[in-house]
Amino acid sequence: MLTEEQCRNASVLLDGLWAEGRQIDHLPEQLRPDSRAEAYRVQGWLEQAPPRKVAGWKIAATSAAGQAHINVDGPLAGRILEDRLLAPGETVLLAGNNMRVAELEFAFRMGRTLPLKPGGYGMDEVRDAVEALLPAIEIPASRYTDFCAVGAEALIADNSCASRFLFGPDFSPAEWMDRDMKSWQVTGTIEGKEPVQGVGANVLGDPWEALLWLVNECNAYGMALCAGQVVSTGTCDVPIAVAEGERLTADYGAGAPLGISFA
pLDDT digits (tens, 9 = 90+) for 75-134: 999 999 999 999 998 999 999 999 999 999 999 999 999 999 999 999 999 999 999 999
Confidence (pLDDT) at 50: 79
Q: Tell me the C-alpha distance between 246 and 262, whole Å.
A: 6
Confidence (pLDDT) at 49: 72
Confidence of residue 208 (pLDDT cuts 50, 70, 90): very high
Averaged pLDDT for residues 42-51:
90
Q: What is the pLDDT of residues 178-200, one digit of tens each?
A: 999 999 999 999 999 999 999 99
Q: Environment class of residue 231 by beta-carbon count within 10 Å: exposed (0-12), middle (13-18) or buried (19+)?
A: buried
* pLDDT value at 32 more than 90: yes
Average model confidence (pLDDT) across the chain: 96
Q: What is the pLDDT of residues 138-157, one digit of tens each?
A: 999 999 999 999 999 999 99
User: If DSSP states are collapsed to H, E and C, what string results for the chain?
Assistant: CCCHHHHHHHHHHHHHHHHHCCCECCCCHHHCCCCHHHHHHHHHHHHECCECCEEEEEEECCCHHHHHHCCCCCCEEEEEEHHHECCCCCEECCCCCCCCEEEEEEEEEECCCECCCCCCCCHHHHHHHEEEEEEEEEECCCCECCCCCCCHHHHHHCHHHCCEEEECCCCCHHHHCCCCHHHCEEEEEECCCCCEEEEHHHCCCCHHHHHHHHHHHHHHCCCCECCCCEEEEEECCCCEECCCCCEEEEECCCCCCEEEEEC
* pLDDT value at 68 more than 90: no
